[in-house]
Structure 1
Amino acid sequence: MRDPRHLAAATCLGALAAMPALAHDDPMQAIAAFFSEAQIVSGPEQVDCTLSGGTQTTCFRITVKPDPKAYTPGPWCPTQITDGADKGGIWFVDGKAEDVDGAFIARLAELYGDTEWQLFDPDTGAVRFTGTLEACEAAARPDVDPEYNNYCVQCLPDYLPDDTAITYVIPLTPVMADRPEPTALSGAGLAWNGIRLDGPAPLENILGAHTIAPFDDCGGHVNPHVGYHYHAVTDCLDDAPGATAALDTQDVQIGIAMDGLPIMAHRDDLVDQLDACNGIDLAGKGYRYYAGTAGSNAILGCHVAETGCTLEDADGICDAAAMPPEPPPGGRPGNGPPPERG
């Protein structure tokens, strides 16, 4: 096998350059064009950074608000068991995305084979859902407050301060890692609209408390720490800037991974060829990721290259190697190992 560093040929900039509308001599202009629909607070700018494997290199830094311009996030939880799908979002069940309508709430005990599920008042049909910031904070944490067992958990964008923003520091040129890295710590990447593409949702913790935390129809929900973010990729990201002008009409680049490699929209025809990280090295295109199916709870299975940072401080220095390690979540989609290293 050829030197794995060659797998990084499809850098975030290389993929953007394939779109005529986004080709620029200045790499920061190309990145700014790709994120033109994001609510940018500052950047993109070129900065020094240290990646997760200790490599010192050059990254781009961009600070964005976790708020899409094109639509209003939600809804998430229906309020009555008579509500239709338009009153709720989606949830992952057996690898598929299901509508969270009133009927879904009513059949949770049957669905999970557990009679302790009871998210609604049997007399009135009213659904129990978190309706305040305090309730959101108590129910959305890993150790769910027992008071909010058997609740539909939703946190509203209105709960966040108006100046909420997140800074992403991503390598301009990917550096292949010695071994695959989990997406749980840094997130999978950043979508073209400025919304975080996150790692897997902690379904075991959520379901263990007899709660569900639905995503809206775009695959996103809110928590008090990172704001609105995606755990699934749906057709809401298909209208990426430059997509209609792309030379490669089969692929739509929906984001840039935290390791600098491009993330493309899901393609059914490639599923059997993807590695465990949801990526593939395509002839003439280099290595690129393809988002998992909407119900897979894995936008990416892992990262094949060293990752950058997500920061709360817009002027912070990225040293991803100094961040505490986190074990990879169990279970990886895909049909083989990621590319060999070394």
Structure 2
Amino acid sequence: MQKTPLLGLLLVLTTAFLYGCNGSQTDETASDEDTSGDGSSVTVQAVFDPDVFHDGALLDTPTIENCTLSGGTTTTCYRVTIAGEPATTEIGPFCPPSIDSDASEGGIWFDGSGEVYDIDGEFILNLENLYGGDWQLYDPETGKVNITDTQASCEGAARPDVAEEYQNHCVECSLSYFGGAVAETFLIPVEPVPMNNPDSINNNNLGLTVNGVVLAPPAPVDAILSANTIAAFDDCGGHINPFEGYHYHASTGCTESVFQSDNHASLLGYALDGYGIYGMLNMAGEEDYDLDECRGHSDDTRGYHYHSASAGENMFIGCFKGEQGSIVAE
């Protein structure tokens, strides 16, 4: 994949500058602001801080209320409502229109094997070699890719039991089918409560990004591939379904947008337990190798925090280290 790393780096650097110009800091925030050598503003992030969210990411100002966490601890939580669409990037593209399309006309695909594929015409042609079986995601006479380009076809394909008429399709949906973005309200503990035995992610949404989007669990790629479909992601690792709206399944660099003054990996969001989730690589392009089973570790600046897995692994973190808040049913 050639497009995403450059996009992610440009976004990180641009956001660092904008945050310094427009972000607010008070004595009560959990971050320290410095000025880098080039005059741009950067931040070191510790615990959940509502001030680091990008303009447009939240629908209202977060409030604090009493809450009960997943392990039964009674504490206080931030009530945070995200917009449900990215405040810093455009959504799409997803599926390429034809077998002659280049990588700029489609998004990406990952299946947990470690590989990230550009969804271009060559990828569509190579599906049978890649996954075996009888794949035909395009019209052999015209070269046009079979795309779910209506609400009915989206709803028929973006589900575990894909309707037969929408098998052998590249699946994409539009927020316009469902009246726009799907807002989500989270209760995130003000102070994380660690557990001795981590909780599994299962199939639950695991957190939120600083640009206003849900962090979803691993995509069900086995079910998707078994129907001879490709549920395309855009270059930021997100796609749309009728239930969650737009959501991310992996970090590709687009969301890692709160730069750290000590060259640590950039913050991309928070897990439901209140711990920060940072990118996989620091600014030198290096990965930390002392991570636990949840993909977390501690340092003197941030305390305990997570590092996202690579997009090719089809995941963000491995488990929850702390008691979780919740997603509020509206």
What is the TM-score of this pair, normalised by structure 2?
0.82
Measure the CA separation in 2 of the matches of 1:145 and 1:254. 35
Contact 1:292 1:298 in 2 (8 A): yes
Whether 1:83 and 2:97 are equivalent positions in the alignment is no
Residue in structure 1 matched with residue 177 of structure 2 by the alignment: 159
Residue in structure 2 matched with residue 53 of structure 1 by the alignment: 71
Deviations 1:61-112 (A, max 9, x none): 1112111222220000011100110111000142121100011011100111
CA contact (8 A) 2:82 2:183 kept: yes
SS at the partner of 1:109?
A: helix
For 1:293, the aligned partner's letter is S
CA deviations over 1:160-195 (Å, ceiling 9, x no partner): 224731111111111123422222444221111011
Are residues 1:107 and 2:121 paired? no
Contact 1:182–1:303 (CA under 8 A) maintained in structure 2: yes
Percent of residue pairs bearing the same amino acid type = 41
Task: Name the CA distance, whole Å, in 2 between partners of 1:239 and 1:179.
Answer: 31
Structure 2: give runs of 5+ residues left out of the alignment. 1-26, 35-40
1:134-160 deviation digits (Å, cap 9, x = unpaired): 211121112222221111111112222
Q: Which moved more, 1:134-143 or 1:282-291?
A: 282-291
Letter in structure 2 aligned against 1:221:
H
Q: Map 1:216-231 to 2 at 5 A.
A: 216-231=234-249
Counterpart of 2:274? 260
* Offset at residue 203 of structure 1 (A): 0.8
- Match of 2:321, SS state, is strand
Q: In 1, are the aligned partners of 2:89 and 2:254 still within 8 Å (CA)?
A: no
For 1:64, the equivalent position in structure 2 comes to 82
Residue 321 of structure 2 corresponds to 304
2:82 counterpart letter in structure 1: V
Question: Which of these residues, 270, 273, 287, is aligned with residue 270 of structure 1?
Answer: 287
Q: Does structure 2 conserve the Cα–Cα contact (< 8 Å) formed by 1:15 and 1:262?
A: no
Q: 2 CA distance for matches of 1:185 and 1:171?
A: 21
Provide structure 1 residue ranges, at least 5 long, that are not aligned to the other structure.
1-12, 314-342
For the pair 1:144 / 2:159, whether they are aligned, the reply is: no
**Structure 1 residues 19-49: Cα deviation after superposition (integer angstroms, max 9, x where no partner):** 45799xxx9xx83321133432223000111
Alignment of structure 1 residues 215-254 onto 2, 5 Å: 215-240=233-258, 243=259, 246-254=260-268
Structure 1 runs of 4+ off > 6 angstroms? none
Select which of 288, 305, 309 maps to 2:305: 288
Distance 1:270 1:71 in 2: 25
Q: After alignment, is 216-225 or 271-280 more displaced?
A: 271-280
The SS at the match of 1:86 is helix
Q: Distance in 1 between matches of 2:78 and 2:251?
A: 24
When residues 87 and 176 of structure 1 are mapped into structure 2, their CA distance, relative to the original with a 3 A threshold, is same
SS of equivalent residue, structure 2 residue 208:
strand
Conserved 8 A contact 2:54-2:88: no
1:59/1:171 contact within 8 Å kept: yes
State how 1:187-226 maps to structure 2 within 5 Å. 187-226=205-244
**Number of residue pairs aligned between Structure 1 and Structure 2:** 291
Preserved CA contact (<8 Å) 2:84 2:181 = no
Q: CA deviation at 1:125?
A: 0.9
Conserved? CA contact 2:272–2:324, under 8 Å: yes
Name the SS for the 2:66 alignment partner.
strand
User: Does the 8 A contact of 2:108 with 2:117 survive in 1?
Assistant: yes
Equivalent pair of 2:67/2:75 in contact (CA under 8 Å): yes
- Give secondary structure in 1 for the equivalent of 2:49: helix
Distance 1:279 1:14, change over 3 A: farther
In structure 2, what is the Cα distance between the partners aligned to 1:189 and 1:224?
A: 19
What residue number does 1:10 align with? none
2:42/2:261 contact within 8 Å kept: no
Change (3 A) 1:284 1:166: closer
Q: TM-score, normalised by structure 1?
A: 0.79
Corresponding residue of 1:125: 143
Distance between the aligned counterparts of 1:19 and 1:142, measured in 2? 46
Q: 1:175 aligns to what?
A: 193
Residue 22 to residue 169, structure 1, CA distance change in 2 (3 Å): farther
